[in-house]
Structure 1
Amino acid sequence: MKKILLVCILLTAFMSCKKDGKTQTLYLAHTLPQTHPVHKGIVEFKKALNKKSGGTMDVKIFPDGQLGSEREVLELLQIGSVAITKVSAATLSNFVPEYHVLGIPYLFRDKDHQFEVLEGEVGKSILEKGSKFWLRGLGYYDAGSRSFYTSTKPIRTPDDLKGLKIRVMNNQMAINMVNALGGSATPMAYGELYTAIQQGVVDGAENNPPSFVSSNHYEVSKYYTLDQHSSVPDVLLIGTKYWDKLSEEEKQWVQEAADESSQAQKKFWNDSVEESMAIAKKAGVEIIIPEKSLFQEKSKSVLEAFLKEHPEMTDLINKIKNQ
């Protein structure tokens, strides 16, 4: 069925890049549910663009992975079948190497530092790097910070991770980080995780508060340690095949709408975090605020290994750290 749907999109691709005399419609696809704070930010993008263009530009949103996975939708952007998408910077790093940097553990001092970087010259330069791969970045959405949660015992220091099997994404940097901290990184499909924790196949996992609650993992993991080891943002992208067809005025409308939606989405995310934490606490989850410097110190080898493999990223990382 997905293949048939993709063929249909290809056959009707002209609709996402052609004016009908009144309105041109941009297809925007992503994988998140409509209740997600990032989707709410995307809705704000649609509203802002429609208003700025006086109704001459509209956005048709395809949520819930209707048009495929993040990688599949990125490929649709590259060939011009879809105009815009939202993907994790982690997924985008497979296309644009500079996005790998944003996954380095404890790269950002705090949330303020993160968005000072992302919304400043460094963040904008990374967005522009994707243009040579036909993927032009428009801005960043807050996707929170990932922290450890466990079912067997609380994590207060890195030593508490020793011997614990921690589920991670199938991502080398995430695997290296957990292993460096003393845990045993265990890549596993996200859909299998609830049962795996419940049955003791793994001792815990790591994710942001809204995901911790929406997945119901708080039911089987009663310790949540807010070490905030990684803060990988989501990225709003437009395919250059579409972007290059726009007039300068239309490009300005699209960029301004993206900027406004990014600011609105931060509030949606913060509200979601507060709501999720309240649910977790009410369910009896112990919230632990650890000394982050202990985790940061012990995970330095991850950065060292990354720089050894990617020395060309040294200047970019130093700019982020020094901002």
Structure 2
Amino acid sequence: MQLRNIVIAVTALGMVGVASSAFAETWRFGLEETEGSVQYGYAEEFKKLIEEKSGGDITVQLLPYGTWGSSYTALYDAIQNGAIQLGFGSGFLGGTVPESQLMSLNFVMPSDQLKTAKILNSDAFLKSDAWQQSFRERGLVPLGALPEGYQVWTANKEIRTPEDMDGWQVRVMDNSLLRATYEAYGASPITIAYGELYSALQQGQAEGNIQPVFAHENMGFYEVQDYMIFADQAQFVANLFGNLEWYEGLSDEQRQTLETTLDEMVQKGHEIQSQFNSERLDIIKEKGDIKIIELTEEERAQFRELAKPIRQVYVDMVGERGQKALDILLEQGVGSSDQGS
């Protein structure tokens, strides 16, 4: 019944686009984030390029967080059943595509954020059998990846070492690998719905939070926390994926339009996240009195050592296919970075 209601609701949303352009095909694009986010900025540029290249034959309808339901599972289900054609999935996607938790590993991606974007969108990784089959077996197809900036910790106390995390109740996405990672650091990770996180931090139900800078500002999390800690341990990566049946039903011309747009969006996506995070950090510094901490290399090294065994935890969770996907990333030069060493 819940799934049926989602389909009806999303179909109703789509009627707006159909009415305004009777002969245009509509691609509904589901976002995990609200307007004013990196995902929304990416989607706006994607929409512009697709509609221009198709000469108006394709319209893209953006569905930000809240327009498709209140749980991320509802979004992923809607893409699986074709009510929404494509969308983003990040940490929560691990419940639908377990192998996607690869993006949650700490101290694996290059410190150069553009290099990360290029590797994750390369044919060697994105079109590898291991990564493709991880999604296709669930009725989905991976189309790209959007690194949204470094994950930054906020807390009501200084955190510089794993000892400082002892018993720290930090909110993480509902992702078993993230929980394992922060348990390895000594924290006590908890899961709280994104829309309820501000009040949870304000009321002390959670003692800390992990988000890219733009999200801390966009949702006002910095207003109810005392410290913002930059450890450069992981970038927040959103997987872009589509409904498999929809993708396979695209004409050659439509697929070419999609592929060339996705190629352009690698650089554009990096520029969008860089601008968003830089501007939002300035706003946080200007409006708030939160204290900024940047960990030294020696401090980061302590967390890096604790994070290394989690790679095997990931492989044990998802199996051989996950190992192959991880190996491809390492072969692409990820492991030679300061994070993967």
Shorter-chain TM-score bucket reads 0.7 to 0.9
The 2-side partners of 1:293 and 1:300 are apart by 11
Q: Distance in 2 between matches of 1:142 and 1:294?
A: 24
Whole-Å Cα distance in 2 between the matches of residues 156 and 8 of structure 1? 46
Aligned to 1:66: 67
Q: What letter is aligned with 2:258?
A: V
Quote the residue 2:27 is aligned against. 26
For structure 1, which segment, 45-54 or 275-284, has the greater mean C-alpha deviation from structure 2 after superposition? 275-284
**Is the 1:127–1:138 Cα contact (8 Å) retained in structure 2?**
no
Q: What is the distance in 1 between the residues matched to 2:188 and 2:63?
A: 38
SS in structure 1 of the partner of residue 60 of structure 2: strand
| Aligned twin of 2:80 | 78
**1:56 alignment partner AA:** D
1:218 maps to 2:222: yes
Amino acid at match of 1:318: D
* 1:187 and 2:191 correspond: yes
The share of aligned pairs that are identical, in percent, is: 24
Deviations 1:172-222 (A, max 9, x none): 222221221122223333344434434444432222111122222212222
Q: Is the contact between residue 78 and residue 135 of structure 1 (CA under 8 Å) also seen in structure 2?
A: yes
Cα shift at 1:22: 4.3
Could you tell me whether the CA contact under 8 Å between 1:16 and 1:81 is conserved in 2?
no
Aligned residue pairs total 319
| Per-residue deviation, 1:253 | 0.5
The answer on whether the counterparts of 1:48 and 1:260 sit within 8 Å (CA) in structure 2 is no
Distance 2:202 2:193 in 1: 15
**1:115 deviation in Å?**
1.9
Q: 1:181·1:298 contact (CA, 8 Å) conserved in 2?
A: yes
SS in 2 for 1:246: coil
| 1:149 paired to 2:157 | no
Residue identity in the other structure for 2:326? I
Give TM-score, length-normalised by structure 1. 0.86
Q: Which residue of 1 aligns with 2:262?
A: 258
Per the TM alignment, residue 11 of structure 1 is displaced from its structure 2 partner at its CA by 8.2
Answer whether contact 1:146 1:230 (CA < 8 A) is retained: yes
SS in 2 for 1:115: helix
The equivalent residue for 2:125 is 122
Contact 1:148 1:225 in 2 (8 A): yes
Give the equivalent residue in structure 1 for 2:253. Answer: 249
Counterpart CA distance in 2 for 1:284 and 1:202 is: 20
Q: In the alignment, which residue of structure 1 is the partner of 2:338?
A: none
Q: Is the CA contact 1:15–1:25 (under 8 Å) kept in the aligned structure 2?
A: no
Opposite residue 275 of structure 1, the aligned amino acid is E
Matches within 5 A, 1:105-120: 105-110=106-111, 111-120=113-122
Q: Render the CA deviation track for 1:63-115: whole Å, top value 9, x for unaligned.
A: 23312343223322333322222222x23333333212111122213224422
Q: Distance in 2 between matches of 1:28 and 1:52?
A: 17
Q: Distance between the aligned counterparts of 2:233 and 2:15, measured in 1?
A: 43
Of 319, 329, 333, the match for 1:320: 329
The superposition leaves residues 208-243 of structure 1 with CA deviations (integer Å, 9 ceiling, x where unpaired) of: 111122222212222111113332411222212222
Residue aligning to 2:292:
287
Does the aligned pair in 1 maintain the 2:145–2:238 contact within 8 Å?
yes
Structure 2: runs of 5+ lacking an equivalent: 334-341
Q: Distance in 2 between matches of 1:301 and 1:145?
A: 21
Query: Are 2:316 and 1:308 equivalent residues in the alignment?
Result: yes
Question: Over residues 94-143 of structure 1, what are the superposed CA-to-partner deviations in whole Å (9 max), with x where a residue is unaligned?
Answer: 33332121111222132244223202211332653323322122212222
TM, length-normalised to structure 2: 0.82
Q: Given residue 288 of structure 1, which amino acid in structure 2 is its aligned partner?
A: I
Equivalent position of 1:101 in the other structure: 102
2:49 is aligned to: 48
Q: Offset at 1:245? A: 2.2
Cα-to-partner distance string for 1:30-81 (whole Å, 9 max, x where unaligned): 2422222211211111111122122222212222331234322332233332
| Distance apart, 1:273 and its partner CA | 0.7
| SS, match of residue 56 in structure 2 | coil
C-alpha distance in 1 between matches for 2:257 and 2:33: 25
Q: Which runs of 5+ in 1 are unaligned?
A: none
- Code of the residue aligned with 2:146 in structure 1: it is Y
Indicate yes or no: 2:155 matched with 1:136. no
Kindly indicate whether residue 272 of structure 2 is the aligned counterpart of residue 271 of structure 1: no
Question: Equivalents in 2 of 1:96, 1:265: separation in Å?
Answer: 23
Give the Cα–Cα distance (whole angstroms) in 2 for the partners of residues 25 and 261 of structure 1: 20
